[in-house]
Amino acid sequence: MPHTDAKTALARALRDALTTTPLSKVTVSGLTRAAGVTRQAFYYHFSDIRDLTVWVFKREVGNQVATHSTYDEWSDGLLAVLVWMQSHPEETRSVLSSLGMEEFQIFLYKQLHSVMEPIVDELSQDLRVTEGDRVFIADHFTLCVLGHVSQWLASGMSSDPYILTERISRILDGQVLHALTIFTQKPTMTSARA
């Protein structure tokens, strides 16, 4: 059975290789040699270099988002993700190509939602908001951020991620609490249809 740390070693080898070599020129043999693992270990974990690239991307993005899952820090996580993607354009485009935009958006949605949920929970502690309304509010704000990130990606990641993050942060400032307050004052009525 391959060494359990082979994935991490291969990820590190890919990151190192990309400092001097375009992704299209990276080879499995070069990665396995640099990682100190066999080709068999590579193919045990990944089907090809694109598969490894997707795994590294998801891990990097997931780590950036997970470390900033509070109301006070969420924009730092978003900024870190955007900066990482802009700093690694070839990898980001490769992941977009490999996953397709729909699957890529589903992945980003899950990452962003994992931050928005605790924020909504944190801000609604002293409010009486129904579970359905809380879920809707978390979905709404997740989709707002996802829309901006998707447009930024579609436009080639050309605009400044610092400005984009600051604008998103400014427009959302206080809006989650405001939405929760509105839904506290007037909860969504459950459908009369059963």
Position 182 scores a pLDDT of: 94
Q: Nearest-CA neighbor of 84 among 134, 5, 153, 140?
A: 153
Q: Nearest-CA neighbor of 28 among 38, 15, 20?
A: 38
> Taking all residues of the chain, what is their mean pLDDT, rounded to a whole number?
87
- How many whole angstroms from its chain centre is CA 176? 20
CATH topology of domain 48-185: Tetracycline Repressor; domain 2 (1.10.357)
Percent of the chain exceeding pLDDT 70 equals 94
CATH topology of domain 1-46: Arc Repressor Mutant, subunit A (1.10.10)
Q: Using the predicted structure, report yes or no on whether residue 193 has a pLDDT greater than 70.
A: no
Q: Using the predicted structure, report yes or no on whether residue 30 has a pLDDT greater than 90.
A: yes
State the first-to-last Cα distance of the chain, in angstroms, to the nearest integer: 53
Eight-state DSSP code of residue 187: P
- Whole-model pTM: value is 0.78
Mean pLDDT, residues 64-68 taken together: 75
Half-sphere exposure of 41 (CA within 13 A, CB side): 19
- The predicted-structure confidence for 95-148, as pLDDT tens digits, reads as follows 888 888 888 889 889 888 988 888 898 889 999 999 999 999 999 999 999 999
Q: Using the predicted structure, report yes or no on whether residue 69 has a pLDDT greater than 80.
A: no
| String of DSSP letters for 123-148 | HTTTS---HHHHHHHHHHHHHHHHHH
Report residue 179 as tokens.
Answer: 């939405």
Position 1 scores a pLDDT of: 46
- Are the C-beta atoms of 86 and 169 separated by less than 8 Å? no
Domain residue spans of the chain? 1-46, 48-185
